Amino acid sequence: MKKIIITDSVDKKSVIILENAGFQVTYQPGMPKDEIKKVIKDYNGLIVRSDTQVTPDLIELMDNMEVIGRAGAGVDNINLEAATRKGIIVMNTPGGNTVSTAEHTMALMLSMCRNVPQANQSLRAGKWDRKKYKGTELQGKVLGIIGLGKIGREVAIRSKAFGMEIIGFDPVLSEEVASKLGIKLLDLDSVFAKSDIITVHVPLSSETKNLLSEETIAKCKDGVKIINCARGGIVDEAALVKALDSGKVSGAAFDVYVSEPPDFNGAFIQHPKVVTTPHLGASTDEAQEKVAIQIAEQIVDLFNQKGVRGAVNAAAIESGSNKEFEPYVKLAEDLGSLHSQLHKGQLKKININYSGEMLHNFTTLLSTAVLKGFLSKKLTAGVNLINAPFLAKEMGISLNETKSSANLNYTNLMTVEFITDKETRSFAGTVFGNNERRIVYIDKYHLELKPEGHMLFYYNIDKPGMLANVGKILAEANINIAGLSLGRFEIGKEALTVINVDSEINKEVLNSILSVSGVHSVSAISL
């Protein structure tokens, strides 16, 4: 009989499902980690939410563990590397909070537009301020949705019912899918310029950090309203306070913050035009019941050999059994992630060519890894090697695979071509020795790039002094150079320079590099 232990507060319907399937369940939410360590070797399954920290030292004691289930989307509290190395499947329940977060977005939108919290507080204080809290209607307003994953699309559906015009930006969603939902896809600057209300539903990354900043807020309509139920840090809180004070932004509604809990006495939380809630997006009875039932059903299916659903690392375990092949999976993710941070326009198609017999046996896994790398930077939902193909199909991305014999220069070469409505770009990579990943082609440029950490990409006229000027700017910003890759065709023509650095490069440094004569298309990438 399989034994499962639940160490966090999870809806008890999960216990009923597991017990009805014939498993022995120990339900002990709040169990101290020292106590878990004493008994964990006896269990085949572990279910947690966010309180239990599943660390390498705990995983090391899991002699019989087959699956760790997270009743929720994120798996930040589970050490995936240690679990994978131990051969333990890690599952989560992405999508369980989609409706609850979309509905909370609507609740904040209505509360912000009709001044509900402020009016409620005023009335409780014995005031009758009808004129002071006059609001605005949703009907006829233009709603700009930045990020059209599952939650963003659910917000669109609900907002249409209020008679709103929906526009949006998403670098992944196809125009065909957007059109069926009644969403007009625009570039980001157009969304800023045309929206009466902006709501963000993107993951927090180096690309989306401070997406709404002093610079981008200036591009918005006067009196725009801003909502954030996604991740703290997507909106620059200090810049937003300035815009609220000036009237550029007429209202804001937030459920997430840069620091949680935030500074309760700070200017942002205390601002009279801001509606706030303490990260309640997924906090509904239905959402918590849904994820509890979902994780229990996934574990039942796994143990009854009916398939693996919601696994974050199942394919990684499969590839990990072949140590020689494992670096190619990581390389494929790198290629997808790299393009997700460099591309322009709406992604239409991905073409992948596998050169070399070794790669021919693993094309499905490698293609999935490319999708995972690309989508992980674009979607708020957890993206893994199990759900990446489904998410790509849902977003209208087509993927084509071809196979060819060994390349003249490389025994095994993976070439990925990304086609958008604005450009076509290609990236090719291989593995040297046992695990030395290298990107060897970027478009027409041949180079040898180690894809890891923080990187600076820029194009420049190939002439003396260019690298020295850029190096000086990095040195003045106390950014250390770790590696250098150059690609060029002719002296004096355009060249591509990629510099590996030891720390993140901020926008100020990027702008300084862009100001160097002969330098253009500067980007900071993080892998």
Per-residue pLDDT band at 410 (split at 50, 70, 90): confident
Examine the residue annotation and report whether 279 is marked as an active-site residue of this protein.
Answer: yes
Other CB atoms within a 10 A radius of the CB of residue 32 amount to 11
Q: What is the percent of the chain where pLDDT is above 70?
A: 97
pLDDT of residue 176: 86
Examine the residue annotation and report whether 231 is marked as an active-site residue of this protein.
Answer: yes
CATH of segment(s) 98-276: 3.40.50.720
The average pLDDT across 222-251 equals 96
Q: What is 3-95+289-312's CATH superfamily?
A: NAD(P)-binding Rossmann-like Domain (3.40.50.720)
Instruction: Give 135's DSSP letter.
Output: -
Distances (CA, A) of 200 to 73, 101, 429, 471: 18, 12, 34, 36
pLDDT one-digit tens code per residue, 30-66: 999 999 999 999 999 999 988 899 999 999 999 999 9
pLDDT of residue 205: 82
Residue 458 in this model has a pLDDT that exceeds 60: yes
Q: What is the percent of the chain where pLDDT is above 90?
A: 68
Examine the residue annotation and report whether 35 is marked as an active-site residue of this protein.
Answer: no
Per-residue pLDDT band at 97 (split at 50, 70, 90): confident
Per-residue pLDDT band at 321 (split at 50, 70, 90): low
Quote the CA–CA distance of 143 and 184 in Å, as a whole number: 11
Q: Per-domain residue ranges for the chain?
A: 3-95+289-312, 98-276, 390-526
Active-site residue among 124, 130, 176, 260?
A: 260
**Residues contacting residue 406 through CB under 8 Å, at least 6 positions apart:** 355, 356, 357, 412
Residue 315 in this model has a pLDDT that exceeds 90: no
Per-residue pLDDT band at 207 (split at 50, 70, 90): confident
Residue of 499, 425, 436, 494 lying closest to 460 (CA atoms)? 494
- Residue 520: its H or E element: strand 519-526
Residue 316 in this model has a pLDDT that exceeds 80: no
Contact 424, 418 (CB under 8 A): yes
Most confident of 238-242, 286-290, 400-404, 459-463: 238-242
Per-residue pLDDT band at 24 (split at 50, 70, 90): very high
Residue 343 in this model has a pLDDT that exceeds 80: yes
CATH of segment(s) 390-526: 3.30.70.260
Active-site residue among 231, 339, 437, 454?
A: 231
Quote the CA–CA distance of 243 and 147 in Å, as a whole number: 23
Active-site residue among 114, 279, 309, 488?
A: 279
3-95+289-312 shares its CATH topology with 98-276 = yes
Quote the CA–CA distance of 171 and 284 in Å, as a whole number: 30
Residue 408's identity, in one-letter code, is: L
Per-residue pLDDT band at 204 (split at 50, 70, 90): confident
